[in-house]
Copies of this chain bind each other. A is one copy, B any other.
Amino acid sequence: MGRRIVSKGELTRESILEGAYQLFLQQGYHGTSMRQIAAEAGIALGGIYNHFSGKEEIFTAVLEAYHPIHEIVPVIQASEGATIEEYVRNAAMGMMTALERQPGFLNLIFIEIVEFNSLHLPDLVDMTFPKVMSIVGPFAESQNKLKDIPLQSIVRSFIGLMFMQYFAEKLVGSQFVAMPLEEAFEQTLQIFLHGILAE
């Protein structure tokens, strides 16, 4: 909201994070050097160590700063709709938009999986999933139009389908999406809605 008052040191720290973020996305963690990060941030190599104890701490901080939850939770909260059908449709479009606007989210998670052997992934999920559940839960439970399936399974399937849809969009032009994207999105939504709504 309000403009934060930041010291020069904080500005430097943030430019390190932003430079590192861009480089990690393009080259991965091990493929990115501390010298590249320093150059991107406009400082000398040694200067980095005034802000971070090492390369891994930079990655941790980037993971926190660019965490999907910051982008996606407000989108889901903003989702409204008279029926669950409308609500799901709005949430789905909001999530796709959020993913498209910040395509680096998934890559950071892939880096965590590939180059850190999923070391911090359980913590990450434990931090994220309850937040999503607490937002989705009240709305869904106030309705009686869902099949008798645990809300957790429903949310998990929703996320899985959105990720798959997102992958399909990244692969435009391949056989994987031989139909218009809007149409593919609609089909995925139909399968999900038929899957969760009571007759």
Contact assessment for A125 and B163 in the assembled complex, using a CB-CB cutoff below 8 Å: no
Does chain B have a CB within 8 A of A56? no
Task: Report the nearest B residue to A163, measured CB to CB.
Answer: B160
CB distance from A144 to the nearest CB of B (A): 17
A51 to B175, CA, bound (A): 33
**Assuming the A-B contacts A110-B113, A190-B149, A195-B192, are A161 and B171 also in contact, with contact meaning beta carbons closer than 8 angstroms in the complex?**
no
Main secondary structure of the interface of A (DSSP, over half): helix
Does chain B have a CB within 8 A of A138? no
A157 to B185, CA, bound (A): 10
Size class of A's contact patch?
35 or more
**Assuming the A-B contacts A152-B179, A191-B192, A195-B195, are A174 and B122 also in contact, with contact meaning beta carbons closer than 8 angstroms in the complex?**
yes
Report, nearest first, the 5 A-B pairs whose CB atoms are least far apart.
A160-B164, A153-B187, A195-B195, A191-B195, A30-B30
- 20 residue pairs of the A-B complex, CB under 8 angstroms, read A29-B31, A30-B31, A107-B114, A110-B114, A122-B174, A125-B175, A126-B174, A129-B175, A133-B175, A147-B190, A150-B179, A152-B178, A152-B179, A154-B191, A156-B176, A157-B187, A157-B188, A159-B164, A191-B196, A193-B195
